[in-house]
Amino acid sequence: MSIELPVKKEKVAIVGFAGTRDQAPYNDPEYEIWTVNNLHNFVPRQDRIFQLHQRWEWQPAPGEPRYHGVDTEKHVKYLQTCGIPVYGVDVYPDIPTSVRYPLETMIEEFGIPRTGHDTGKDAYFTNSISFMIALAIYEGFKVIEVYGVDMAVGTEYNEQRPSCEYYLGIAIGRGIEVKLPASADLLKSRFIYGFEKEKIEAWKQKVQKTIGEMKKRKIDSDNIIRQQQSVSDKYEGAITAIHEMDSRWS
């Protein structure tokens, strides 16, 4: 089963799990709201859901670990009855509105050709959000806003942020208006390379000073812990001695 989706609106808000999801324009009827995974549990509305993981991940077999702590039964039931498009890696007969994400079409449209081989274009999708941005561009939305996708630290930053920025760059290059929350780290750098050397040096000094202060506080804290452990050990020894004395006099 496939669902054809003509563009009915010119604006779309793509929403992830980070805190800025609360800033999305849920009450503005001019926007389509696109969400990921089980975010439907935390937002007031959505028009499309993107569950772009293998089904065994979001519906594990009995006894297997739950998918990110998701209530599997509730999640599947929602997808089966939500009545809105559910994009996935396949079409599922028990989810009437499931749609296979048009991966091949997106690769043809946005894939990266490589010199020296003729194996076709390379796909550059490292997370659900980049899939969603690409589809929004392809469908012709004139405004793309991204919320709840801060990507500030850790694996999310290192592995996932670049492909999101790649597609946002394509959107801007095609004249699409892109809007991001002020606190999001997408398309943001702390300093302008080559132009703000003094600011960079001041920031480095501040970071090193803060690290130094934190290390000193950690040393002080560790010393307190060792002192308290020593006191605790003395009490433990006294308790053992009393038990021994009691056993001899019983």
Looking up tokens 């803060």 gives 210
Q: Does the pLDDT of residue 1 top 50, yes or no?
A: no
The CATH architecture assigned to 11-179 reads: Alpha-Beta Complex (3.90)
- Return d(Cα 227, Cα 207) in angstroms, integer: 30
Give the distance between the most distant pair of CA atoms in the chain: 90
Q: What is the pLDDT of residue 128?
A: 93
Return the CA Rg of the chain.
26
Q: Report residue 68's pLDDT band, with 50, 70 and 90 as the boundaries.
A: low
For residue range 124-135, what is the model confidence (pLDDT) as tens digits? 999 999 999 999
Which residues are within 8 A (CB) of 180 and not within 5 positions of it... i.e. 6 or more apart? 145, 146, 186, 187
How far are the Cα atoms of 1, 9, 31 from residue 46, in angstroms, in the given order? 21, 14, 10
- Return d(Cα 39, Cα 16) in angstroms, integer: 7
Q: Over the chain, what is the mean pLDDT?
A: 86
Q: pTM for this structure?
A: 0.76
For residue range 173-185, what is the model confidence (pLDDT) as tens digits? 999 999 999 888 8
- Write down how long the chain is: 250
- Return d(Cα 159, Cα 146) in angstroms, integer: 18
Return the domain boundaries, the chain. Answer: 11-179, 192-250
